[in-house]
């Protein structure tokens, strides 16, 4: 019986690694948004809970706030996951994201100044 419950609970994730990354981080972002929404109402930030409960239809403001938080925080978590794809600092290069990569050097010769002649021309009056 526990195997059937595990099969029901298990999410069907996409096989493509990029879409799987986006789906997992999107779900994490919506969970964080749910926690933030609960914290806003639990802490009564800006007297928002009292305003919503005294509204004629309290469901609509909650849905609108939840939708905005889900879009915003879901996008933030998904975007940060995308931006961290090429980060090699988590693969044993030490802590922090300040590991600099060495760029290939294409020029190894000496730099020489190049003379550029300036042509003398009439000056334009900029006050016109």
Q: Where are the domains of the chain?
A: 47-84
What sign for the dihedral angle of Cα 56, 58, 59, 63?
positive
Q: Which of 82, 88, 72 is nearest to 32 (CA)?
A: 72
CA 73 to chain centre: 8
Each residue's pLDDT tens digit in the chain (128 positions)?
Answer: 556 556 555 667 778 888 888 999 999 999 999 999 999 999 999 999 999 999 999 999 999 999 999 999 999 999 999 998 876 665 554 445 455 666 677 777 788 889 988 887 766 666 65
Number of H helices, E strands in the chain: 4, 0
Those residues with Cβ within 8 angstroms of residue 65's Cβ, 6 or more apart along the chain or in another chain: 37, 40
101 three-class SS: coil
């Amino acid at each position: 019986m526990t195997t059937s419950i595990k099969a029901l609970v298990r999410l069907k994730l996409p096989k493509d690694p990029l879409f799987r990354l986006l789906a997992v981080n999107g779900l994490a972002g919506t969970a964080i948004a749910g926690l933030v929404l609960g914290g806003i109402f639990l802490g009564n930030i800006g007297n928002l809970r009292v305003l919503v409960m005294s509204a004629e239809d309290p469901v609509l403001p909650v849905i609108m706030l939840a939708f905005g938080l889900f879009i915003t925080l879901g996008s933030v978590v998904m975007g940060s996951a995308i931006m961290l794809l090429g980060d090699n600092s988590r693969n044993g290069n030490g802590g922090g994201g300040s590991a600099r990569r060495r760029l290939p050097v294409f020029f190894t010769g000496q730099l020489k100044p190049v003379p550029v002649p300036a042509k003398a021309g009439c000056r334009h009056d900029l006050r016109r």
